[in-house]
Amino acid sequence: MQATLEEVTAMAEKLTPSDKIKLVKRLAISLENTPLEKKKTQDLRGIWQGKFPEDFDAEKEIREIRDEWKKKFDDL
């Protein structure tokens, strides 16, 4: 049997204030552990399109950064 929101609300209204607080706490914990809705994924190419020059070479930039890190680690 599945209760409707109206039925649950009517039953909750009959609870003592203390029990209402306990119910709200349980529901809050349940919500924290349950994703409310799945986020729609977005295409990264579309999101970042036009943000960098067309001739930008990300792999080259990453290699340069890694090389700098390697030099710094070698100096240690």
**pTM listed for this prediction:** 0.42
Name the band, by pLDDT with cuts 50, 70 and 90, for residue 33. Answer: confident
The answer to whether residues 41 and 52 touch, using CB atoms and an 8 Å cutoff, is no
Per-residue model confidence as pLDDT tens digits over 58-74: 899 999 999 999 998 88
Domain ranges of the chain: 47-75
For tokens 């039925």, what's the residue? 7
| pLDDT score at 66 | 95
As a whole number of angstroms, the distance between CA 24 and CA 32 comes to 12
